[in-house]
Amino acid sequence: MRGADAGLGRPPRALVLTWLALLGLVALTLGLAYVPLGRMGIVVALAIAAVKAGLVVTLFMKLFRGPVLARVAAGAGLFWLAILFSLAATDYLARNDAATGNFSLPTGREGSR
């Protein structure tokens, strides 16, 4: 069997296509960054990043061919990050609430306790 071990051989087609798709997405997101999309700009850029991440996770890391537990672990990481973002948002998004008169984006008044 050692005889087959000459040179690099040809890369699997799926990996090459994934690589090309990733490079294409880099070009796309770079181009779109110069299009004035306003506040949507970052949303589009992150959506493209998510697609790239999906390609890497699926085709390079083979997450969906491995054991279920690997998927659970990966999902748990993202879910727990979502907890941090969403529950902290209950504070930050409501901080300017006129009903409470609780306007206190960083002004220094909070100080330390």
Partner 1 sequence: MTTATFTGKAEQPTRGAQASYLTAEGFTLRSWLLTKDHKRIAILYTISITLFFFVGGAAATLIRFNLVTPPGLFQPDTYNRLFTMHGIVMVWFFLIPSIPTTMGNFLIPLMIGAKDLAFPRLNLLSWYLFVIAGVLGLVAIFAGGVDTGWTFYTPFSTMYSNGYVVLALAAVFVSGFSSILTGLNFIVSIHRLRAPGLTWYRLPVFCWSNYATALILVLATPILAITLALVAVERLLKVGIFDPALGGDPLLFQHLFWFYSHPAVYIMILPGFGVISEIVPCFARKPLFGYKFVVWSSIAIAGIGFFVWAHHMFVAGISLYAGLVFSLLSYIIAVPSAIKVFNWTATLHKGWISFDAPMLYALGFIGLFTIGGLTGLFVANLAFDVHATDTYFVVAHFHYIMVGGMVSAYFGGLHYWWPKITGRLYPEWWARIAAILIFFGFNLTFFPQFILGYLGMQRRYASYPPEFQIWNVLSSAGASILAVGYALPLFYLGWSLWRGKKAGPNPWAATGLEWRTPSPPPPHNFDVTPTVTRPPYQYRPDPEPQDV
Partner 2 sequence: MSEAPLDQVHLEPQYATARQQAETAALGMWVFLATEVLFFGGMLFAYTYLRATFPEGFAEAARETHVVIGTINTVVLLTSSFTMAWAVHAAEHDRRRATALLLAATALLGLLFLGLKGLEYYKEWQEGVVPGLNFHKDGPNAHVAAMFYYLYFMLTGVHGVHVTIGIGLVALMAVRAWRGGFSARYFTPVEVTGLYWHFVDLVWIFLYPLIYLAGRSGP
Residues that bind partner 2 (CB under 8 A): 1-2, 4-9, 11-12, 15-16, 18-19, 22-23, 26, 29-30, 33-38, 41-42, 45-46, 48-49, 52-53, 56-57, 59-61, 66-67, 69-70, 73-74, 76-78, 80-81, 84-85, 88, 92, 105-106
Within 78-97, the residues that bind partner 1 by CB under 8 A are 80, 83-84, 87-88, 90-95, 97
- What one-character-per-residue DSSP string does 32-82 give? HHTS--TTHHHHHHHHHHHHHHHHIIIIIS-GGGS-HHHHHHHHHHHHHHH
